Chain A
């Protein structure tokens, strides 16, 4: 080999070694410069079609989440153990046509908030008046979230508040007060629930309940019996909480149908979404599990559930699942599932998942998060699909951040060291290094990914106003002012509830639907609505829980872009009935009742 060849190979080696790195650095700096230029640009609305402005305090909402207080043996890692509980769920609890919302607190003795929408841009906390404030009583555990549905088909929304502790069920009495019916309801006495949802799994017209444990149910975090409570593995843990499937008897009581359902998971579930994934009209369950693989339980005709995670493709790579939201990302009538995980530069790059079905109703999925550009977000928690800019394609709001401690500090080294350990090491809290006030993926920016409709998402969070750096948890999308724009509510751990009001380009049109079941459950949970317009179609399914510890507005909102007409709307009710609307008026909310 001659000198020239050797020199050439050396140059190629050097170029490969530093060339791509230099290019990526240059590319990143160019992007940051462009972003900085755009941030100062006045034409954000024109460029992106919408912008967000945080206005919680202006609207009378002053709510700050307080975390669970733990057994003192957990003091050294308290921030990461008590890192959940900030939730938000949207409901029109008083049936006045304006969307209200409920937020949970977690510290013993702290109060939850129920914010009534006054219809004039202002909100008032009525939780105490109606009996939904004092749910963190000492000895009863800490609130983690809430999920609403009409359990007795009496036209108003009742609420389950799930906790690391005793779950609570309240019956709504005409929006004036809530009656506690926990004791007679058949709910478990104690369950460390990470999430819950309502679904009519047997399609009998009564909404049933699914509860998913996070910690094992024998754990009392405020008073430990043992310090061996942690996951037995960072990626293969099976020592989490059990699950419950509770069948609604129709009289305010529920019957435990878990054993016959075949749902025997004991993974660490943090998010659940129930939707009809295989097109057989029976609602299925997708579980987003921390410390392990996700699970997909397919409902077999309301008799039993079959877990097909591995066969479907979603159950292979274990990650840290923290979110489950569905959206028809390509307007093809296929519901993709977005699952958030952990990504930290140079440490852990799990990447979020976008499970895209191979066909409509198919239960085989491919992770297209990387291809579509929605993979690397940070330590992600809540995420929701919604057409924020009303351009006809669902966008994605993702909140990030785990523990924001002292600025400039990091617990990542210790975290990565212990989480690589064997179960005898990782599962005992005594082996976990002291956090000493350090941050773990703290102060992270959020993502607002705009869907271009062609399979690509662009992050515009910093440009359109989603600039907070709190430790985000639950995210809910809601049209707070009934003006055809999806606003964003964000519940932050140890932080304030944020209300991002959305200003959308008025030239963009929309249509929305409020559904009421008659033969189906009254909340119409499980109904699928498909809107067709100008060679486009979009499918949405009305679900209860969505995202992480959150529930969106019951109203289904579709952006239409500049299209001034909807061709038709197909509604598939849980009862099996189909309904079609032809050329419904746009820029208004249609209230549809299921034909009897």
Chain B
């Protein structure tokens, strides 16, 4: 467990990117300061992109189809996530962290789990945030926060919690809008290859599942058309703090997630994607950290 100041983001708003951007701004000559400040006013920081995207998904989903059972549940999840982040950040890091990560975790929990009760939303949000601070190895948290929280709730509380399983109404356009917007934003954050690898892998493996089980191919692809997968693809598997560092490694991990998901789906696990990421993500990250350590060890070539 570590007490570093890492306030890592669930979203793609990587602190590294932000830090680099600030540093380069400071190094620019003074004559360009005025232009730079105007530019900074008109340009969104990367760390705000993911929260804006997920807010759009929430608003589109709710205002057009009413896919939340209640605003209260989602608001509670967001409030608990932010409170936990503030308290734990202050206690464990010594300062108040940026809240983009907590906001995304809260909103993801609020959308992804379904329950007739209020308490699962609070519990899931708090578990998600706490997992970042408690389940750490070599200065990194291993699980994507909301993936940890949602998986834990689905596994431990099946009588009280289910996952989002509905679709975007009856037309294609909301789905296309979210996919296009999400792709643009994720591209800007240089993580689109992860999404693309996963989606292509999922479709190919859906074909394999169809062949193995004799069920229609489109039935196996169907989940990909729902909002749950949009959150999963754009926000969970791309989380910079819980993915490996190299582009090739990220693609490999995305494929492995799809592969493990296929195995779980063959065993008829309804919540297969969450469990696949829960299993693959930390193992991949731990393996990379171990390899890095080995490479950095004295005497290594």
Contact = CB atoms under 8 A, between A and B. Distances in A.
A422 B131 CA distance: 34
Contacts of A369: 116
A31 interface: no
Interface string B80-96: 00000000100111100
B225 A422 contact: yes
A431 B116 contact: no
Interface residues of A, number: 56
A579 interface: no
Interface stretch (B166-174, B275-283, B286-294): B166-174
Nearest to A344: B162
Nearest to B2: A6
Interface stretch (B19-27, B152-160, B187-195): B152-160
Interface string A318-356: 100000000000000000000000001111110100000
Nearest to B115: A349
B66 A6 contact: no
Contact of B156 (A9, A10, A18): A18
A462 B195 CA distance: 50
Given A416-B165, A422-B175, A16 B130 contact: yes
A417 B220 contact: yes
Interface in B93-143: 93-94, 114-117, 119, 123, 126-127, 130-131, 133-134
Given A1-B3, A431-B218, A425 B225 contact: yes
B56 interface: no
Contact of B222 (A5, A412, A421): A421
A420 B270 contact: no
B215 interface: yes
A348 B165 contact: yes
Contacts of B116: 349, 351, 369-370, 375-376
Interface in A398-433: 410, 412-414, 416-423, 425-426, 428, 430-433
Given A234-B167, A433-B216, A346 B162 contact: yes
Contact of A425 (B92, B131, B221): B221
B170 A420 contact: no
B48 interface: no
A1 B220 contact: no
A42 interface: no
B214 interface: yes
15 contacts: A1-B91, A6-B1, A6-B3, A10-B134, A12-B130, A21-B157, A234-B166, A236-B65, A317-B69, A347-B270, A369-B116, A410-B268, A423-B167, A425-B218, A425-B225
Interface-centre pick from A1, A9, A417, A432 (highest chain B CB count, 10 A) = A417
B226 interface: yes
Contacts of A235: 65, 67, 166-167
Nearest to A237: B170
A420 B214 contact: no
A238 interface: yes
Contacts of B154: 346
Contacts of B167: 233-236, 420-423, 426
B219 A413 contact: no
A16 B125 CA distance: 11
A349 B296 CA distance: 50
B123 A16 contact: yes
Given A417-B220, A419-B165, A9 B175 contact: no
A560 B126 CA distance: 49
A316 B66 contact: yes
A345 B215 CA distance: 24
Given A13-B131, A346-B158, A346-B270, A417 B222 contact: yes
Given A417-B220, A432-B216, A433-B216, A349 B114 contact: yes
B161 interface: yes
B67 to A, nearest CB: 8
A304 B91 CA distance: 63
Interface-centre pick from B175, B228, B270 (highest chain A CB count, 10 A) = B270
A9 B92 contact: yes
A34 interface: no
B28 to A, nearest CB: 37
Contacts of A375: 116
A581 interface: no
Nearest to A348: B162
B97 to A, nearest CB: 14
Contacts of B94: 1
